[in-house]
Amino acid sequence: MKSLAELQAIRDKARANVNLRKENPNAAKVLVGMATCGIAAGARPVLNAFVEEIAKRGLSDDIVVTQTGCIGICQYEPVVEVEIPGQEKVTYVKMTPEKAVEVVNDHLVNKNVVSKYTIGAYAE
């Protein structure tokens, strides 16, 4: 068993790491549906593509990529929601890693929604 001093040191280190991860309140958010339905449909490579492209462009401080549970539209998986402060949330469906790179470039960088990949384009 660890001593009390060792446990306190572990706690302090963990707290410091959590403080480093504080979000920028003005950051855009990319939420990738990673419930079993999303994972089965290929959400993990989509998540990785978003993370890699955003890191490659040096946008990690301005865009937070995270996973979420079921978004509720399993027939359209993989599903990604993009939330930019002051704008309406955009839901992208049937995503692929290639589409993710396009969304980063067109929507997150150039502020143009990629309408052909949104839920509205598929629900028509």
Other CB atoms closer than 10 Å to residue 75's CB: what's the count? 10
Q: Could you tell me the end-to-end alpha-carbon distance of the chain, in angstroms, rounded to an integer?
A: 61
Enter the pTM of the model: 0.79
Residues in the chain: 124
Give the strands of the sheet with 63-68, arranged side by side: 63-68, 28-33, 80-83, 90-92
**Residues 4-57: tens digit of each pLDDT:** 888 788 877 776 655 444 567 788 999 999 999 999 999 999 999 999 999 999
Q: Which residues have C-beta within 8 Å of that of residue 30, sequence separation ≥ 6?
A: 50, 54, 63, 64, 65, 66, 80, 81, 82, 83, 108
User: pLDDT for 19-30, tens place per residue?
Assistant: 444 567 788 999
Q: Residue 76, Cβ neighbours under 10 Å: how many?
A: 20
Amino acid letter, residue 107: H
Q: How far is it between the farthest Cα atoms of the chain?
A: 63
